[in-house]
Amino acid sequence: MVERRDDDERWMAEAIELAWGGLGRVEPNPMVGCVIVRDGQLIGRGFHETFGQAHAEVNALADCKTRGESACGATAYVTLEPCCHHGKTPPCADALIRAEVSRVVVAAVDPFDQVDGGGVCRLRDAGIRVDTGVGLSAATQQLAAYLKRVRTGRPWVIAKWAMSMDGRIATTSGESQWITGESARRGVHELRGRVDGIAIGMGTMIADDPMLTARGGGARTPARIVFARSRVPSLNSRLVESASQTPAWLVAGPQVPDSEIDRLADHGVKVIRVQSSDSVSMIDEALVRFGSSDNPSGQPMTHLMIEGGGELLGSFAAGDQIDECHVYVGAKVIGGRAAPGPVGDPGIAKLSDATGFSLEMVDRFDDDVRMIYRRTLSAE
């Protein structure tokens, strides 16, 4: 029995919902979900749960066996094209062929150069009907960070800030803790626990001496990253003192003396040297390193979170490098012309040059509000 188009959309939506279970656990691999259906009945489901472990299709086929079902003659709905290469696991296209499914429905073709249509071709060559593009828009939104990294070599950049109702991130005296309440701050720690890296500038480093860790045990231990054009963190800072236990990186401009680099390296800080002293170009160089395996982790970074301060956020914005914003609005009015806003220099001269975002979500934490914005994405 061939599923109807509305059935295809329904089953793909279930596969997409399943895939979210891998968020923060599978990177740099993509989140993928799979459901297997026969005669309108689900007989297997699975998602990619952990980096280096079985992919969604293999987990769904295993679920079929657990249920006492055979996937022979069934339809598999997969959110991303099944892989056709040997990586940490064998090709998923081959697993589907061995299971003798009759049809595979794919939301998005994988642009990764070792796949990029090869999985679809392998399935079709084995006599399996393959349909693509079902649920493409939703899958593209879900896979946005992975797709950006594969296509551009740079991670997905999430800018986060907390501000008062009148748009201040601190008082005129510089006091900033805390604009939002504990409930909202727990939301920030949840976000920290699913990204690959958290970045700040030296202004925030000096003012706040932050740890930048994720309380409550997230799925990942993000690298804590400081952008330094000339000044560097103190050896007595909490971030440097904990560098041997939790990854700490320094993105160092050419003005930073080698002697300072050596001292930090002796304390376990990993250093990425960039050639440019211009803040916008410095960020672009660093993002290329982050998005490749040529960084201290040895793995491409998929999600980078920017926590401030205003100068660093301003430079990311000026370079058009922000993909998503998590804006927390605290139930306070601060006032004062000298009280800083969240995004500083150099700024945008013309509104027509500003990056446009779409509002994706609004939620409430007691009396505080979080708004999540994303770039408008195409489904290419």
The residues that are catalytic are 57
Residues 6+ apart with CB under 8 A from 278: none
**Inter-residue contact 52 to 165 (CB < 8 Å):** no
User: Could you give phi then psi for residue 58, rounded to 5 degrees?
Assistant: -65, -40
Best CA proximity match to 237, nearest among 201, 258, 210: 210
Task: Compute and round to an integer the Cα radius of gyration of the chain.
Answer: 23
**Inter-residue contact 366 to 181 (CB < 8 Å):** yes
Best CA proximity match to 154, nearest among 279, 28, 301: 301
User: Could you give phi then psi for residue 98, rounded to 5 degrees?
Assistant: -65, -35
Label the pairing between strands 41-47 and 197-201.
Answer: unpaired
Residue listed under structure tokens 């691999």: 29
Helix (H) or strand (E) segment spanning residue 306: strand 303-308
Q: Two tokens at 209?
A: 């001496």
- Burial bucket for residue 369 (CB in 10 Å: 0-12, 13-18, 19+): middle
What is the signed CA dihedral for 373, 8, 121, 150, rounded to 10 degrees? Answer: 10
Q: Distance of alpha carbon 237 from its chain centroid, rounded?
A: 27
**What region, left, alpha or beta, does residue 156 occupy, with left being phi > 0 and alpha being psi -120 to 50 degrees?**
beta
